[in-house]
Amino acid sequence: MKVKEKFIKQATELHRHNPVVDAHLDLAGEILLRYQAGEKEVIRTYYLDHFKKAGLTLLISSVYVDDSVLPEGGLRNALDQISVLYEDIAAASDDVMLVKTRRELRYARQHGKIGILLYMEGLDCIGTDLRLLPVLYELGIRGASLTWSRRNQLATGCCRSNEKKPIPGGLSDVGLQAVRELEHRSCFVDVSHLNDDGFEQLAEAAVRPFLATHSNARSVYDSYRNLTDPQILSLCKKGGIIGINGHARIAGSAEKSNHLEMLCRHVEHIVKLTGSRHVGYGFDLCDSYSRAEPRLSFNVENNNCLENHSEMILLTAALLQRGLPEKDVTAIIGGNFYSFIDRILK
């Protein structure tokens, strides 16, 4: 999809003057991998220029614990990720800052800094010990999904992006308690990676709005990592937001490489279902993380629909070119997620 220059200029202005949010990046995990390999200043080296070009206001970084360190090393790995993220933010403190409160969120925007918010992509590392949730909160965690694409003692995940099969099983009693504990602390609950049974249970149990930080529409591309129309309507009825996922296998553009078109189709479908207030960006750009992983072969598959965060502007321009009103696009690029986070932070 070729985007005309006039729409790129219009999109650039929108990104310059309005909140811009990416609701999902495995940043903390990538920093740990690169630190273990002897690198430093990961944000400054790999991300900062692209963040600035995109006009990024807020990034939500996951703490994702890989299968290889579970169960015994899960908590240590999560704490290591949080620790090195703190260190890396300190090394780029002129441009980025950790956000834990509403005051810090607003301070970051007013002073032209990129805010970074932490959340757990799966709570496998705590087992069933919910007493650890307040500890994670004190370290800056402000949201969580109960599980990644696997089964743990709280919930059952959906299949992985390269698979296509329904997986039965819902939330455990402890999983439902975890939802209540997260809501009590004004932490958001994320349903990306949760299976269909678990989604139904969580939607019924949730008192507060919840998120799908990096999921698309299953009606547009039939992946179990994406949400059905009833799930989208259920999430939006509770006041939640869906972050459009930029992984090619989840967007449905892996074979045809029509990345911008497919991302636009997912956005347009959700807007048609629910209006523009319930969709944002949650790209899950994985390629840099994959390149940081130890490997014998250095041939890394390119899974990103966008080369890097600076290409957020191309997607915004494509949405404008396809006729989405500017006020709707302004909400989608970050207004929706920024307002949501501003409301839940203490």
* Other C-beta atoms lying within 10 Å of the C-beta of residue 96: 23
The domains of the chain are located at: 5-344
Half-sphere exposure of 331 (CA within 13 A, CB side): 15
Tokens of 203: 């939607």
| Predicted local distance difference test score (pLDDT) of residue 298 | 61
Output DSSP code: residue 44.
I
CA atoms within 13 A on the CB side of 162: 2
Task: Choose which CATH entry (3.20.20.140, 3.40.800.20, 1.20.140.10, 3.40.50.11060) describes domain 5-344.
Answer: 3.20.20.140
pTM exceeding 0.85? yes
Cα three-residue angle 27-110-52, rounded to 5 degrees: 45
pLDDT attached to residue 36: 97
Look at residue 163 in the predicted model and tell me its pLDDT. 81
For residue 202, what pLDDT is reported?
Answer: 98
The whole-number mean pLDDT for each consecutive block of 10 residues of the chain, a chain of 346 residues, reads 96 98 98 97 98 98 96 96 98 98 98 98 97 98 97 94 85 98 97 97 97 98 97 97 97 94 98 98 96 76 93 98 98 98 96
**What pLDDT score does 297 carry?**
61
Nearest-Å Rg of the Cα atoms of the chain is 18
Enumerate residues 6+ apart whose C-beta is below 8 A from 344.
142, 186, 187, 188, 208
